[in-house]
Amino acid sequence: MRSRVTWDLCWAWYRALLEAQQTRIAQMGFGHLLAVRPFHVDVPYLEALWERWEEDCKEFIMPWGHMIPTLEDVAYLTGLPVQGEPERSDYYDDIVELLGPEFVAGRRRPIRSILLRSLSEEVELRGRRRGPLETLEEFYTGVRRSLQLGDRREERSVWIFVAYLFGRLLFATQSSQMNCKFMLLLRDLERAGRYAWGAAMLGHLFSLLRSSSRRSQSIGGFTPFLQIWGYTRFPMGCGVRREGSQAMIPIMARWEVAPDSRVTDRRAEDVRATLDHYPHDQVVWTPYREETDASHPAVAAGRPLFDRHLLLLCLGTCEVLYLELVVQTLGWHQPPIEVPSLGREGHSRRRFFAEDRDWGEDHGSTVAYWREGGEQVLRQTELSDSSAYLEDYRARYAGRLRLDRQAMPESQSMRLLEGRLAEQAVELERLRAETQTLKEELARVRARQDTGASSSAQPASGDLAVRLQEALDRVQVRVWELEASS
In degrees to the nearest 10, what's the CA dihedral of 396, 400, 406, 409?
Answer: 180
The pLDDT tens digits of the residues spanning 298-340 come to 999 999 999 999 988 876 678 889 999 999 999 999 999 887 6
Element holding 261 (H helix, E strand): helix 261-264
H and E: helices and strands count for the chain: 21, 13
Q: What is the pTM of this model?
A: 0.79
The pLDDT tens digits of the residues spanning 77-102 come to 999 999 987 654 455 666 666 666 66
Element holding 142 (H helix, E strand): helix 136-146
Report the C-alpha gap between 115 and 127 in whole angstroms: 13
Element holding 66 (H helix, E strand): strand 65-67
Please give the C-alpha separations between residue 109 and each of 97, 102, 159, 180, 319, in angstroms, as whole numbers.
16, 14, 22, 12, 28
The pLDDT-based confidence of 457 (bands split at 50, 70, 90) is very low
Report helix, strand or coil for 54. strand
Residue type for position 8: D
User: Is residue 235 over pLDDT 70?
Assistant: yes
The pLDDT-based confidence of 106 (bands split at 50, 70, 90) is low
In DSSP terms, 375 is beta-bridged to 309
Q: Is 333 exposed, middle or buried (0-12, 13-18, 19+ CB in 10 A)?
A: middle
The pLDDT tens digits of the residues spanning 33-55 come to 999 999 888 888 888 888 899 98
Report the C-alpha gap between 309 and 68 in whole angstroms: 13
Report the C-alpha gap between 268 and 44 in whole angstroms: 4
Residue ranges per structural domain of the chain:
2-236+278-295, 413-485
In degrees to the nearest 10, what's the CA dihedral of 32, 34, 37, 40?
Answer: 120
